[in-house]
Chains A and B, each alone.
Chain A
């Protein structure tokens, strides 16, 4: 490639976003219709996920194996959060906290797991502080670890969107080891979640006795 074409190429690459503005032009002038607000939607589906054999760091500082952490008989609720996230994550964490509280004695049968999608920033201390902010009780664990581990897990759950700012509102429930996962997209309220949990607990009960 000669000098001249290189120059053009880099010019195009470096400042294409400026050039873009003129390309947008036509779109900008178009009349826009009034929009109607859609009610918040939630989508429930069931899926099986193959979880990676990775190590994570729990908020108490312990290095743990994900598969072992997820192996016990308790029902499992998983979400993905990061502590610097001020809009959506607090809402998801609030629902976990409230659900755990409202479950009363049944809370002991449920393992809440919040996994950091900003693991290089979220260490055991920041996660513990975060848990305290939401009055999380034992049975709600927060996990961090290497960036690659967190990404591997997000990929396994098909929630990886390339960047933490793109994180989706998504929640996973597994009634017991070996079962399929319930995947919720969108905002799930505490009452809705408790109903779902109690249904699973009821169906779990006969086999576990």
Chain B
């Protein structure tokens, strides 16, 4: 099993839903000896803050910019010289190309406990962490100022040398000593608490199937773990607590969005969780985003039509929702050039989602010669409905930001021969084309931010099979594929994070690994990177085929 020439790592082939291609995974461990506790200086709060500024912002305690020297790649200064660019916010480092950026957290640099520490990266060609002695203050100074590692060897040319004065060095050291030193809230000896959030007013069937899927996956995962621990005799015991039971906590919100943040804070205060995954809301997600930012709590890929406009660090989204659709339609009009409509009439209700969608479109169309007229659905009386469709010309475009029920009502009231091109939001009909009245099939185009046709079917096959296995219904394929994606992601993330359960590290690993392996989602391509918060970035404009299926009218448009 073990390769004789390689004494400190072993290669295994992994099959996993999201790594359908087999991948080599190698793991290495550093076993650290007990460090003399007295050498760890009691850090003072001011030092830690000064250290944070150097680490995250590249600003020295004098207020001047941090400067890093490099023989080959040249000098870096200020923000781009900051340690966070490479070692990341958690301090856990990363792997870029074939360059390993090692962890510089308190635990990894200065062990204060006789506890093994391991790091795992599925892409590592060689072990990402190598055993070495702990850093003393002098050794740390030498590494940062001279680029000499604790074992006396010179560092890779990527790591800059920083001529820090004693005060800044002390501050930086104080910061590193406390960085990712304690496991995050929600992580217990034998459990890992994960929440999901349900906003009021969502379809009860959707809510039910989501919770059933999550519970099935959590149970399945915990059961598989029992099997392991039951017969565990292997040295993996050396990494304590890696096998934690997953516990699902459901946070159900009530009332209006302005009260959600307080409700969530209260939930999390009473019973803190490690992360929030998935979630469901027909309304804005912005207050939830704010809560996640406040609590520094990862909120991973909720199913929402309206994410925050400028998300915080801790919230990741599948896409920009209806705001993306607005930008895609604007791009489409731009591509149409002189065939673009002269006037755009938007029909919508006065709710958060539709209003934001309409505003985004108005904003996106600025600079194009298109007049915009907003028509708001009111009481749906005959006169109201007549007003919505009055005076439309063939050179107009009609944009419907409407849910399925409104679409049916309106289609019945609309003139038989509706002049303009009609566009509708796919997100507001859950991506399900059967929600568009047949009457409009010939005229209407959907802004469609999901994959279409055979590719979509292939990608979501795993979900279909999994649902069959657990005898769960497939009521809302796109929504359920989002939930499913989250469950797989959580499995991959936690298994690769090993015992390094820090919230920041979860976000970083998600940024790095979202696009790996086979795509099991309803989106053509999901990908994040440091600072990116929307994983899917485009949409098709799609038309109905005779049989009611959809075909792309345009290539995948990325605004």
Q: Which residues of A contact B (CB under 8 A)?
A: 3, 6-7, 9-37, 40, 82, 84-88, 90-91, 94-95, 98, 118-121, 123, 146-147, 161-169, 187, 189-190
Contact = CB atoms under 8 A, between A and B. Distances in A.
B86 A87 contact: yes
Given A28-B29, A120-B527, A167-B96, A6 B74 contact: no
Contacts of B492: 17
Given A7-B469, A18-B228, 10 more contacts: A11-B224, A14-B17, A26-B234, A27-B28, A36-B153, A84-B531, A87-B101, A88-B158, A121-B529, A162-B516
28 contacts: A3-B469, A10-B469, A14-B466, A15-B220, A17-B14, A17-B495, A19-B224, A20-B25, A21-B498, A22-B228, A22-B234, A24-B10, A25-B236, A28-B29, A30-B7, A30-B8, A31-B8, A37-B153, A85-B529, A87-B85, A87-B96, A88-B158, A94-B73, A94-B76, A118-B527, A121-B527, A164-B527, A168-B97
Contact of B85 (A6, A31, A86): A86
Interface string B211-249: 000000100110011001000101111110011000000
A25 B8 contact: no
Interface string B470-495: 10000000000000000110011001
Contacts of B527: 118, 120-121, 163-164
Nearest to B492: A17
Interface residues of B, number: 89
Given A33-B7, A88-B96, A187-B157, A13 B530 contact: no
B515 A163 contact: yes
A90 B488 contact: no
Contacts of A120: 525, 527, 537-538, 558
Contacts of B151: 34-35
B389 to A, nearest CB: 36
Interface string B1-29: 11000011110101111000000010111
Contacts of A167: 96-97
Contacts of B123: 165-166
B468 interface: yes
B388 to A, nearest CB: 35
A146 B555 contact: yes
B10 A21 contact: no
A34 B150 CA distance: 11
A36 B122 CA distance: 23
B98 A168 contact: yes
Nearest to B28: A32
Contacts of A27: 2, 8-10, 27-28
B512 interface: yes
A9 B531 CA distance: 37
B529 A118 contact: yes
Contact of B243 (A21, A91, A168): A21
B131 A32 contact: yes
Contacts of B224: 11, 15, 18-19
Contacts of B466: 10, 14
Given A31-B7, A121-B537, A10 B532 contact: no
B100 to A, nearest CB: 11
Contact of B7 (A17, A32, A85): A32
B94 interface: yes
A91 B516 CA distance: 24
Nearest to A95: B73
B99 interface: yes
Listed from nearest, the 8 A-B pairs whose CB atoms lie closest are: A25-B234, A84-B529, A17-B495, A37-B153, A29-B235, A27-B10, A32-B8, A91-B73
Interface centre among A40, A123, A146 (most CB of B within 10 A): A40
A189 B99 contact: no
A3 B469 CA distance: 7
